[in-house]
Structure 1
Amino acid sequence: MTQVVVSIALSVAAAAVVMAVTALVARRQGRVAVVDVAWGVAFAGAAVASGAGAAAGDAGSGPRTWLLVALVVLWGGRLAWHIGRRTAQHRDEDPRYEKLLGGTLAEVGMARAVRKVFALQGAIVPVIALPVSVGVAREVRWWPLVALGAVVWGVGLFFEAVGDAQLASYRSRPRDQRPPVLDTGLWAWTRHPNYFGDACVWWGLWLAGGLASGWVAGLATLVAPLAMTWFLSEATGARLLEQTMMQRPGYPAYAARTSRFVPRPPRRGRHVVS
């Protein structure tokens, strides 16, 4: 139990360091949107810190510990690289953060940005990372769940990476040579394959890290995938994005035939938005 507490504390410390550095970068650049890149980095840092702490304390099951760390680092690194490459093309503030803060960083000041963005996300990261922080410090009770979790993680990474690649390919085409809405590939099955994939990644990590350690650990860390799924589908992800997407020509019709989150074959002849 002591090693689990240490592992969680290291996760908290790593997330705090990443967000503190990111706040300094944001202040220098004059925009809060850089925190999107730090999101994946913070999780990777938390996983590495927890894994190193468990290894130093001779806790956990070695192969599972480093599997969990590797899965988080791969996911977080890909996400940070993808968002960093995308945001490098834009120097203006993300409208989402302007709305959240009530203005630009220059207008509202750094203190509000720290309170409403950096500190908040720094506190959320260790909560979402609980299955990893707990899993690296405990013995494996059910190895089949570790394997199942890795498979679910792989499905999630596929949806996230392929969905992002398909969207990037769509956006790279001239506006007059592409349809108004991307509705092919994974985007024909769900309006947000990248968000769905992200949720699957954390359900997989919960299976491999939390539940595979036993019922108590599984129930104690269940908040992580539930919270991530809620954020992605209802809070700051799909639902928030669609407030603006519904204004785009063709999107309401696309929404009427395509699932908002969980993939399913597109409906035909239906006009009710899900």
Structure 2
Amino acid sequence: MISGLHGWAAFGVITGASLLLLAVLHGVTMAIGHRIGRYNVVDVAWGLGFVGIAVLSLVLGPGDLARRWLLAVLVALWGSRLTWHMYVKSAGKGEDPRYTELLSRSGGDGLGVVARKIFATQGISQWFVSLPIQVSAVVGGTEGIWIVVLVLGVGLWVLGLAFEGVGDAQLRRFKADPANKGEIMDRGLWSWTRHPNYFGDASVWWGLWLVAASAWPGVLTVLSPVAMTYFLVYATGARLLEESMSRRPGYAAYQERTSYFLPRPPRRTVP
């Protein structure tokens, strides 16, 4: 806890420490990416950065201790799983087509372009998306009817984590079967949405926002989950992945019968 500091002064210390942490994290990650010749290592740092901010908020925040611990645990569970998943997914592989395409549209893979378009963008995004955690660390406890909002937030977080974890496990098993080589994954959660992991991610952060919104002025950080959803759907997530996947045989038919983002039963198609 920050001794003697309260309110916005304490928030200033937390947000400054968070920015410093992200700058160091992404500086080191970019150096690693440059050394190994691929910058998708930034995806490994994505979850890790949020965990670091949650821990800083827990340790430095003078706000309600129970909610600080709750948010730290929720973010740590989500972020640790995601960090390990992205590490395993990318280890020994080439560059992610999303980043290849992004850099080619931005003028090449010079360090200045890479720093600006990938690492600085990711760092600023992490700081902004994590504002509910930072703000929640300096405010009072949750009381009365607002406890319902907190419980709903935890429930939405559970739903999101389940979608991410189950969706990733289903895809991993599908790819491990040699019989599925070249096929489109359209089973399990992937038959309800083409991006169950991104939908789960969005649900996690809307849930965390609800937890923060259970005490004023956490509700004012609503633009943070809005931004996260935008990144996942339009900016660096599903849209870029769809652009590369659309070149694969059978993907157009998969798009016709399967929801883009929000889960729903698959459409029936005429043979």
Instruction: Provide the TM-score with structure 2 as the length reference.
Output: 0.90
Partner residue, 2:60 = 53
* Displacement of 1:140: 2.8
**Higher mean Cα deviation, 42-51 or 107-116?**
107-116
CA distance in 2 between partners of 1:30 and 1:179 (Å): 26
Alignment pair present for 1:150 and 2:157:
no
CA distance in 2 between partners of 1:134 and 1:117 (Å): 26
CA distance in 1 between partners of 2:15 and 2:180 (Å): 50
Tell whether the 8 Å contact from 1:257 to 1:270 is kept in structure 2 after alignment: no
* Displacement of 1:262: 0.5
Q: Structure 2, unaligned stretches of length 5 or more?
A: 1-6
Number of residue pairs matched by the alignment: 261
Tell whether the 8 Å contact from 1:195 to 1:233 is kept in structure 2 after alignment: yes
Q: Partner of 1:108: helix, strand, or coil?
A: coil
Instruction: Provide the TM-score with structure 1 as the length reference.
Output: 0.89
Q: Partner of 1:6: helix, strand, or coil?
A: helix
The Cα RMSD (Å) is 2.1
* Displacement of 1:261: 0.4
Partner residue, 2:177 = 173
The one-letter amino acid paired with 2:237 is G
Tell whether the 8 Å contact from 2:14 to 2:57 is kept in structure 1 after alignment: yes
Q: Deviations over 1:137-168 (max 9, x none)?
A: 21134222222111100100000011001001
Tell whether the 8 Å contact from 1:196 to 1:261 is kept in structure 2 after alignment: yes
Q: Deviations over 1:176-228 (max 9, x none)?
A: 4568221111111111100000000000000001x1112x4312x11111011
Partner residue, 1:98 = 100
Are residues 241 and 108 of structure 1, via their aligned partners in 2, closer, same or farther at CA, if it must alter by over 3 Å? closer
The one-letter amino acid paired with 1:256 is E
* Displacement of 1:29: 1.6
Alignment pair present for 1:74 and 2:42:
no
CA distance in 2 between partners of 1:123 and 1:179 (Å): 37
CA distance in 1 between partners of 2:69 and 2:260 (Å): 34
Alignment of 1:187-198 (within 5 A): 187-198=190-201
Q: Partner of 2:41: helix, strand, or coil?
A: helix
Q: Structure 1, unaligned stretches of length 5 or more?
A: none
Are residues 45 and 111 of structure 1, via their aligned partners in 2, closer, same or farther at CA, if it must alter by over 3 Å? same
Q: Partner of 2:40: helix, strand, or coil?
A: helix
Tell whether the 8 Å contact from 1:4 to 1:138 is kept in structure 2 after alignment: no
Q: Deviations over 1:7-40 (max 9, x none)?
A: 2222222212211111221222222111110111
Alignment pair present for 1:238 and 2:230:
no
Q: Partner of 2:234: helix, strand, or coil?
A: helix
Identical pairs, percent = 47
CA distance in 2 between partners of 1:257 and 1:202 (Å): 27
Are residues 113 and 203 of structure 1, via their aligned partners in 2, closer, same or farther at CA, if it must alter by over 3 Å? same
The one-letter amino acid paired with 1:78 is R
Alignment of 1:8-23 (within 5 A): 8-23=15-30
* Displacement of 1:115: 1.8
The one-letter amino acid paired with 1:258 is T
Q: Partner of 1:21: helix, strand, or coil?
A: helix
CA distance in 2 between partners of 1:9 and 1:145 (Å): 29
Q: Could you list the runs of 4 or more consecutive aligned residues of structure 1 that deviate by over 4 angstroms after TM superposition?
A: none
Tell whether the 8 Å contact from 2:57 to 2:68 is kept in structure 1 after alignment: no
CA distance in 1 between partners of 2:182 and 2:96 (Å): 25
CA distance in 2 between partners of 1:270 and 1:236 (Å): 33
Partner residue, 2:186 = 183
Partner residue, 2:229 = 229
* Displacement of 1:53: 0.7
The one-letter amino acid paired with 1:12 is L
The one-letter amino acid paired with 1:160 is E
Q: Partner of 2:268: helix, strand, or coil?
A: coil
Tell whether the 8 Å contact from 2:11 to 2:135 is kept in structure 1 after alignment: yes
CA distance in 1 between partners of 2:92 and 2:246 (Å): 25
CA distance in 2 between partners of 1:212 and 1:177 (Å): 46
CA distance in 1 between partners of 2:261 and 2:58 (Å): 32
